[in-house]
Amino acid sequence: MAALKGRMVIGQSGGPTVVINQSLVGAILEARRHDAITGILGARHGIAGIMNEDFIDLTLPSKEQLETVAATPAAALGSVRLKPGKAECERVFEVFRKHDVRYFFYIGGNDSAETAHIIAEMARDADYDFCTVHLPKTIDNDLKVTDHCPGFASAARFVALAFMGDDRDNAALPGIKINVVMGRHAGFLTAASALARQQQGDGPHLIYLPEREFDVAAFQQDVRDTYQRLGRCVVAVSEGIHDAKGNPIATTGERDSHGNIQLSGTGALGDFLAARVRDAFLGQKVRVRADTYGYLQRSFPTVHSEIDAREAREVGIFGVSHAVKTGENGSVAIRRLSNHPYASECFVTSLSSVARESTEMSDAFIHVNGHDVTPAWLEYLRPLVGELPRMGRLG
Amino acid sequence: MAALKGRMVIGQSGGPTVVINQSLVGAILEARRHDAITGILGARHGIAGIMNEDFIDLTLPSKEQLETVAATPAAALGSVRLKPGKAECERVFEVFRKHDVRYFFYIGGNDSAETAHIIAEMARDADYDFCTVHLPKTIDNDLKVTDHCPGFASAARFVALAFMGDDRDNAALPGIKINVVMGRHAGFLTAASALARQQQGDGPHLIYLPEREFDVAAFQQDVRDTYQRLGRCVVAVSEGIHDAKGNPIATTGERDSHGNIQLSGTGALGDFLAARVRDAFLGQKVRVRADTYGYLQRSFPTVHSEIDAREAREVGIFGVSHAVKTGENGSVAIRRLSNHPYASECFVTSLSSVARESTEMSDAFIHVNGHDVTPAWLEYLRPLVGELPRMGRLG
């Protein structure tokens, strides 16, 4: 079969990561190697840019410029939070026809896979020769099929380092410290805080995940118990914790463009929990502080996992190479081959297997007490994050 | 004059920094070289540890262990927030006599210099041969006399990197982003955000410092103007901003052990300002988020300024060497010798010149518009923070 010939469009969608541009640059550099790809258009702000025909010619940037982009956090093409409806997808498809676009690569999470899926079906129904490949990206690590998602391990490294330092800070000035970590439905990133522990007694001492119901009274008791035992307590809590009915524990009431309640970019949950801890220690002089790690987790430069950066690049290369070779739609996924030494490979799964639904942490990763992780979780996570510094101690 | 002979005590006080243990290790290693120093006692949690005779024998740890400690954030001996009164200082002095302590090194800010000063005067009044040296440390950079404070440049590097990444994030998903930075009375750390700018239009677009009155209506107008011009706006704001009467703009009402209103460890100010921005855009669909960088700024491992780490080490070495050589009380300070290439040296100033009062940013560093910095500020700051990565762009 002769390769599909025509232009390609590539776009980025959803929350940025520290390595999302590695996938972009991997795809661009691979595309430049193939005659079948007659032009490389970067869509500014994803689907929105396609609808507005707002493209960057990605045949122009030098290799050197692209390598600087690859090492830069956050989506270099601009991102978007838009789940296109039928009319919007029709407009996208019209633009693709107009510009003889035959390849579409969309870097994002399960919503982006869904968008890619809809457009792929539209092309099929119209008998338009076309190939759509979704390139996975999310710090939440909540995509189906793949062993893990590009972007996650770097965010996990940031969280692990943050807790390592914060635990030393808390040991120096003892008290109760609550750190709120990103992850609306999946606790993977919050659970990464467990990597901060190097010695008996190290924090985080309590880890609350959205996979379990959060009960304020039980939380207060857990903190009291830990404080009594250690004289301090470091808590990792997911921004997505909720009560038995699924309601968030505390929010500002704001909603994003998907109608989701705003969890990130506010200190509301941390401050609420700090107040409940103060209630639990009423009359006692206890130092209580809360930090919300916020967007630093997905955009802080110079802190990344080497393996994550490499895999994000490979995902971009593999996606383009697969598209040119097979012309088949799909979503790139990662298969773990070995933990010691770590090895992985890319493969392609169907768009429908990744679109729409997301995953969460399996029971095997969550301690039966509901506020900690298991050794299996650390075994899964450790190779992805890379070597962490030893925290020095005295006495 | 023969050197004073006896034991030394060293302690750490106040908020941790990423390089405070460099000063500790510098002092220990230098002390080991001098026969005049017959024992090296580390006070656990500063003055509190001295009163309880809670000491670690610092002649024991290996050089290798000490180097790991030096590279670890947060006070390895434990820290304390305690301004001792007369009775407490008398107890400290009693312990010093009991253990034949002739040297006292206290690593901390102006409160620690004040404590060292009181104890030095007590020793003088009692005709007890004794030498006290204060070793400066604070991410706030608010000590008098010294050109800058160990600990500041590493925190400034963290803030600069955080804004670099966050500005790329904000460019990818445009909106209004407010980041709250530490610094109760001095805006140095908030002003370090300006280092994130690499190209025209880069954020932070507005910088609010505690050295200027904060007016909510003017802030709303500044944000509106910036948003109209650029379609987005990144704001750096000090946790210490206050109104014309000196009242904090927003807090939880909690107070620390010094009676200071709690500013760090809460998202209250960020959430308040985000709400005011939403008010200013009433009826318009604008994405508004606030992050409070919190304790990450003073304790995040692997992010530090090389010059800061080196100077913090030198301050410890110099303080001990000075004490043994001269027996004179004082506070170690840094003199900048040159900016291109950067060079500095340590010297000793009197305890009274550093104790109690602190400094803030000079008018020469603050833009006349009241919400930005000057080129003089960048000239001062840039050499301390070290090389920053280039942020890559497309189109």
- pLDDT, tens only, B98-116: 999 999 999 999 999 999 9
CB neighbour list of residue B236: distance below 8 Å, 6 or more residues apart: B163, B179, B181, B190, B191, B193, B194, B204, B206, B207, B208
Q: Are B294 and B307 found together in one domain?
A: no
B390 within a domain of the structure (yes/no): no
Asked if B32 reaches chain A (Cβ–Cβ under 8 Å), the answer is: no
State residue B3's pLDDT score: 84
Amino acid at A2: A
Query: Which residues in chain A are closer than 8 Å to B182, comparing Cβ atoms?
Result: none
A268 closest CB neighbour out of B271, B302, B394: B271
A267 closest CB neighbour out of B18, B271, B389: B271
Q: Which residue of chain A has the CA closest to B66?
A: A392
A394 within a domain of the structure (yes/no): no
Cα–Cα dist A15/A127, whole Å: 33
Mean residue pLDDT of chain B comes to 95
Q: Which residue of chain A has the CA closest to B22?
A: A392
Q: How far is A380 from chain B (nearest CA, A)?
A: 23
Asked if A203 reaches chain B (Cβ–Cβ under 8 Å), the answer is: no
**DSSP, res B366:** B
A395 within a domain of the structure (yes/no): no
- Cis omega (within 30 of 0) on the bond before A136? no
Cα–Cα dist B359/B362, whole Å: 9
Amino acid at B165: G
Q: Is B373 exposed, middle or buried (0-12, 13-18, 19+ CB in 10 A)?
A: buried
Q: Are B226 and B282 found together in one domain?
A: yes
CA triple A55-A58-A62, angle to 5 deg: 145
Cα–Cα dist B291/A250, whole Å: 16
CATH number at residue B65: 3.40.50.450
Tokens of B97: 């006599």
B298 closest CB neighbour out of A56, A77, A169: A169
Q: Which residue of chain A has the CA closest to B271?
A: A266
* Residues B171, A74: C-beta atoms closer than 8 Å: yes
Helix (H, G, I), strand (E, B) or coil at A128: coil
Query: Which residues in chain A are closer than 8 Å to B302, comparing Cβ atoms?
Result: 161, 303, 389
* Interface list for B 232-271 with A (CB within 8 A): 252, 254, 256, 262, 264-268, 270-271
Of A361, A358, A362, A360, nearest in space to A113 by CA: A358
A27 within a domain of the structure (yes/no): yes
Cα–Cα dist B211/A250, whole Å: 34
Number of domain units in chain B: 2
State residue B260's pLDDT score: 67
A164 closest CB neighbour out of B171, B254, B301: B301
Q: Are A243 and A170 found together in one domain?
A: yes
Asked if A16 reaches chain B (Cβ–Cβ under 8 Å), the answer is: yes
Q: Which pTM was predicted?
A: 0.97
B394 within a domain of the structure (yes/no): no
Give this complex's ipTM.
0.96
First to last CA, chain A: 70
State residue B336's pLDDT score: 98
State residue A238's pLDDT score: 97
Please count the residues of chain B: 395
State residue A300's pLDDT score: 98
State residue B255's pLDDT score: 67
Helix (H, G, I), strand (E, B) or coil at A142: coil
B391 within a domain of the structure (yes/no): no
Q: Is B214 exposed, middle or buried (0-12, 13-18, 19+ CB in 10 A)?
A: buried
Cα–Cα dist B384/B342, whole Å: 8
Which residues are bridge partners to A108 per DSSP?
A136
Q: Which residue of chain B has the CA closest to A268?
A: B267
* Residues A394, B173: C-beta atoms closer than 8 Å: no
First to last CA, chain B: 70
* Residues B266, A271: C-beta atoms closer than 8 Å: yes
Of B217, B155, B218, B228, nearest in space to B186 by CA: B155
Strands (DSSP E) contained in chain A are: 6-12, 37-43, 55-57, 101-108, 131-136, 176-181, 206-208, 233-238, 288-292, 330-339, 342-349
Q: Are A70 and A174 found together in one domain?
A: no
State residue B104's pLDDT score: 98
B1 within a domain of the structure (yes/no): no
State residue B283's pLDDT score: 83
Q: Are B380 and B248 found together in one domain?
A: yes
Boundaries of domain holding B318: 6-150+303-354
B392 within a domain of the structure (yes/no): no
Q: Which residue of chain A has the CA closest to B390?
A: A68
**How far from chain centre, in Å, is Cα B24?**
16
Q: Are B160 and B289 found together in one domain?
A: yes
Q: Are A76 and A162 found together in one domain?
A: no
Q: Are B144 and B252 found together in one domain?
A: no
State residue B257's pLDDT score: 60
Q: Are A287 and A319 found together in one domain?
A: no
Q: Is B392 exposed, middle or buried (0-12, 13-18, 19+ CB in 10 A)?
A: buried
Q: Are A167 and A73 found together in one domain?
A: no
Q: Mean pLDDT throughout A294-319?
A: 97
* Residues B301, A161: C-beta atoms closer than 8 Å: yes
* Interface list for A 70-99 with B (CB within 8 A): 70-81
Mean residue pLDDT of chain A comes to 95
DSSP string of A279-332, one letter each residue: HHTTTS---EEEEE-TTHHHH-TT---HHHHHHHHHHHHHHHHHHHHH---EEE
- Cis omega (within 30 of 0) on the bond before A61? no
CB B370 within 8 A of CB B212: yes
CATH number at residue B271: 3.40.50.460
pLDDT band at A339 (very low <50, low <70, confident <90, very high): very high
B74 closest CB neighbour out of A169, A267, A268: A169
* Residues A168, B71: C-beta atoms closer than 8 Å: no
Q: Mark the ranges of chain B whose per-residue pLDDT is less than 70.
A: 1, 251-260, 264
Which pLDDT tens digit goes with each residue over A45-76?
999 999 999 999 999 999 999 999 999 999 99
Residues of A noted as catalytic: 140
Query: Which residues in chain A are closer than 8 Å to B171, comparing Cβ atoms?
Result: 74, 78
Q: Are B212 and B143 found together in one domain?
A: no
CA triple B331-B333-B338, angle to 5 deg: 170
Q: How far is A364 from chain B (nearest CA, A)?
A: 30
Tell me the CA distances in angstroms from A341 to A382, A383, A386, one per residue in order: 12, 8, 12
CB A173 within 8 A of CB A145: no
Residues of B noted as catalytic: 140
Q: Are A70 and A188 found together in one domain?
A: no
